[in-house]
Amino acid sequence: MIAATTFAGKTVAVFGLGASGNATARALLAGGARVAAWDDSEASRAASEKQGIALSDLRNADWSGLAALVLAPGVPLTHPEPHWTVERAKAAGIEIIGDVELYARERARLAPDAPFIAITGTNGKSTTTALIAHILREAGRDVQLGGNIGKAILTLEPPARDRFHVIEMSSFQIDLTPTLQPSAGVLLNVTPDHIDRHGTVEHYASVKERLIVGAATAIVGVDDDYCRAIHERAEARGQDVLAVSIKTLVAHGVVAMGRKLVWASGGKAKAIADLEGITSLRGSHNAQNAAAAAAALAVLAFTPADIQRGLSTFPGLAHRMEEIGRIGRVLFVNDSKATNADSTGKALASWEHDIYWILGGKPKDGGIESLKPFFPRIGKAYLIGAASDAFARTLGGEVAFERSGTLDAALASAARDAAASAGAEPVVLLSPACASYDQYRNFEERGDHFRRLVAALPGVTLRSGAGA
């Protein structure tokens, strides 16, 4: 645990008692603060009390006696409207921060030179975060991984000069971290997302930009308009900034040229890693993730050999282009994390043909219209969940499909059809382009169900660790 000592002797309000909120309360108490903890949910309050966290009804509190409000990232700060605790804090003139800000202040106090890599982006941030942490571990370093992935940041070991904190950050977390100053700040991409929480895509992009503004070195993907502009602003203010691209050779940074990662600087280019044969990093989107990871590690003086070794042994993340197993030529891939068309498009781009595609669930705005360029790659589609009617209309006469209804029926049909195809490597791909909430509690539950179904198929050879 990281004890949050910068509020010692003061009373701090903590609102939102999920995993990060409970960790925050414990960290503040360990650092000598008094905590006024609350949540709108009675169940969350009861769970926190069982963990020994005393509650204080903030609806009736004297806010003038509070030093700060530490807000859980899931609680609205600005849109669609500020949460009532935000309004109370503003009226009392106290700061509103998040748990990553408490970490940042402890780092500044304990070990300001401690290596801290912060990663954000609309897509790919979890894979990039996990990949950086994996490469560091393979190089024998002490690595603490958390934030928006895995553990709450304040449950990690404290900052130290020889300890790497690799932290994924959502836009909500960045919004609550005013003194974020990572050793390397990585911004992968920006596409419209979370507009309900940020009002406009421009505001969303500006929040993402804040992650790299205070970084000792900024690493910015430059393949979308928003991030290109962010990169240009960083250069204009004289910041140390590297560009990352999968589309064009950059002046200073890392570019993915096919499956090779190339360091470009001063008009020269040098290959630093090769992704050929690394199936856990299949697809151009994962080439961008790998290029960003390589750039961050090169900044921290890791060698191409260190980077290549870590890339080659990266197992991938669950539910993100996760190879489950094979039956003969047929490959089974779990991409349940693809909850929108943009993410599914990246999966479909990874194979040229013979894709037996399982899709559907609770649809998002726009459906799968944007995926029409990939339709010639589809051997057949299998529709599940609430989106079936809408997706059937979009597929129309362009793609053969069946209304499977459930994942069980879809997998049985897809496995049969893929086995009967003449392709060299037909792939049964769960990439739903939908939220899961019509049939599952979350995308993890959906992906776990797919794993179990694949594991039960006759003759399947599972990849190590799959099928659990």
Give the pLDDT score at 194. Answer: 67
> At 365, phi and psi to the nearest 5?
-55, 135
What confidence tier does 69 reach under pLDDT thresholds 50, 70, 90? very high
Distance CA 398, CA 381 (A): 11
Reading the block at residue 108, the tokens are: 């500044």
Reading the block at residue 312, the tokens are: 């080659």
Q: Residue ranges of the domains in the chain?
A: 5-97, 101-312, 322-456
Whether residue 317 contacts residue 141, with contact meaning beta carbons closer than 8 Å, is answered with no
Q: Which fold has domain 5-97?
A: Rossmann fold (3.40.50)
Reading the block at residue 257, the tokens are: 């040229």
Is the per-residue pLDDT at 80 higher than 60? yes
Residues 158-176, mean pLDDT to the nearest whole number: 96
Provide DSSP, 274-338: E-TT-GGG-SHHHHHHHHHHHHHHHHTT--HHHHHHHHHT----TTSSEEEEEETTEEEEE-TT-
Whole-number percent of the chain with pLDDT over 70: 98
**What's the pTM?**
0.89
Distance CA 265, CA 260 (A): 16
Is the per-residue pLDDT at 467 higher than 50? no
Whether residue 14 contacts residue 45, with contact meaning beta carbons closer than 8 Å, is answered with no
Tell which CATH architecture fits domain 322-456.
Answer: Alpha-Beta Complex (3.90)
What confidence tier does 193 reach under pLDDT thresholds 50, 70, 90? low
pLDDT digits (tens, 9 = 90+) for 241-257: 999 999 888 999 999 99
Tell which CATH architecture fits domain 101-312.
Answer: 3-Layer(aba) Sandwich (3.40)
DSSP state of 129: H
Residues 49-65, mean pLDDT to the nearest whole number: 94
